[in-house]
C-alpha cells in the first residue's frame, strides 16, 4: 500500500469514527460525455470547483486553496445580505479515477466533518460519476447536501459536455 493510500485510509477511518454515532449518507450519480481527465481536474482544482458548485441559499460561491496547500480548499458562500458559513476540505486523488474529500462544514459554531467519495466509472470520453457522502450529522445537513450535490453534479455535467461539444465543433468542423 502506498503512502498516499495509507493517508486516505487513515483519514477515512478518523472521519468515520468521529461521526459514526449518528451517520447519515447521500448517494448521487450522473453520466457525463466528456474526457475523464478533464472531469477529474474539475473535481480536484478549487478554481474549477467554483464553476460547478451550486450551494443552496448562496448567490455567489468562491473556492480557494487553503494554507498554501494544493489539497486543502475553502468554499466561501455569499448571499445578498451576508457571508454564509464556509466549508473546508481536503481533496485526495487516487487511482483509478477516484476523488475523496474530507468535508468540514461550519454548523452553529461547530465544524462537522464528513467524507465524500467520488468514483468515475467508464472513460476515456464518457463516464458515470458515483458520489457517496457519509457521516453527515443531522437530517437538515443531509437535505442541504443532497440538494447541493444534485445541483452541483448537474452543473458539472452541463459544463463538461459544453466544453466537449465546443472542442468537437471547433476541431472537426
| Model pLDDT, residue 34 | 93
| Model pLDDT, residue 135 | 95
Rounded alpha-carbon distances, angstroms, from residue 101 to 14, 84, 134, 172: 13, 21, 11, 37
Residue 9 dihedral angles phi and psi, to the nearest 5°: -60, -40
| Model pLDDT, residue 18 | 47
Cα 143–Cα 149–Cα 151 angle in degrees, nearest 5: 100
Rounded alpha-carbon distances, angstroms, from residue 96 to 31, 36, 93, 119, 123: 17, 11, 9, 8, 11
Domains, in order of start, for the chain: 3-56+93-103+112-168 (3.30.530.20)
Distance between CA atoms of residues 45 and 64, nearest Å: 9
Per-residue model confidence as pLDDT tens for the chain (173 residues) = 655 555 556 555 555 554 444 568 999 999 999 999 899 999 999 889 999 999 998 999 999 888 766 689 999 999 887 888 889 999 998 878 999 999 998 766 678 899 999 999 988 889 999 999 999 989 999 999 999 999 999 999 999 998 877 766 655 55
Is 84 in contact with 90 (CB distance < 8 Å)? no
3-class state of residue 46 by DSSP: helix
Rounded alpha-carbon distances, angstroms, from residue 164 to 29, 34, 47, 119, 158: 20, 6, 19, 20, 10
**Which pTM was predicted?**
0.81
3-class state of residue 130 by DSSP: strand
| Model pLDDT, residue 12 | 58
Amino acid at each position: 500500500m502506498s503512502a498516499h493510500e495509507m493517508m486516505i485510509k487513515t483519514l477515512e477511518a478518523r472521519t468515520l469514527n468521529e461521526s459514526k454515532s449518528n451517520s447519515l449518507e447521500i448517494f448521487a450519480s450522473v453520466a457525463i460525455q466528456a474526457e475523464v481527465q478533464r472531469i477529474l481536474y474539475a473535481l480536484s482544482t478549487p478554481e474549477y470547483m467554483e464553476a460547478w458548485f451550486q450551494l443552496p441559499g448562496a448567490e455567489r460561491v468562491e473556492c480557494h486553496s487553503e494554507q498554501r496547500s494544493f489539497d486543502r480548499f475553502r468554499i466561501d458562500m455569499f448571499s445578498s445580505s451576508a457571508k454564509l458559513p464556509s466549508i473546508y476540505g481536503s481533496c485526495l486523488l487516487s487511482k483509478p479515477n477516484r476523488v475523496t474529500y474530507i468535508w468540514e462544514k461550519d454548523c452553529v459554531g461547530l465544524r462537522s466533518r464528513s467524507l465524500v467519495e467520488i468514483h468515475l466509472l467508464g472513460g476515456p470520453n464518457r463516464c458515470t460519476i458515483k458520489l457517496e457522502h457519509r457521516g453527515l450529522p443531522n437530517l437538515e445537513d443531509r437535505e442541504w447536501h443532497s440538494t447541493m450535490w444534485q445541483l452541483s453534479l448537474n452543473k458539472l455535467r452541463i459544463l463538461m459536455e459544453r466544453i466537449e461539444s465546443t472542442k468537437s465543433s471547433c476541431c472537426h468542423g
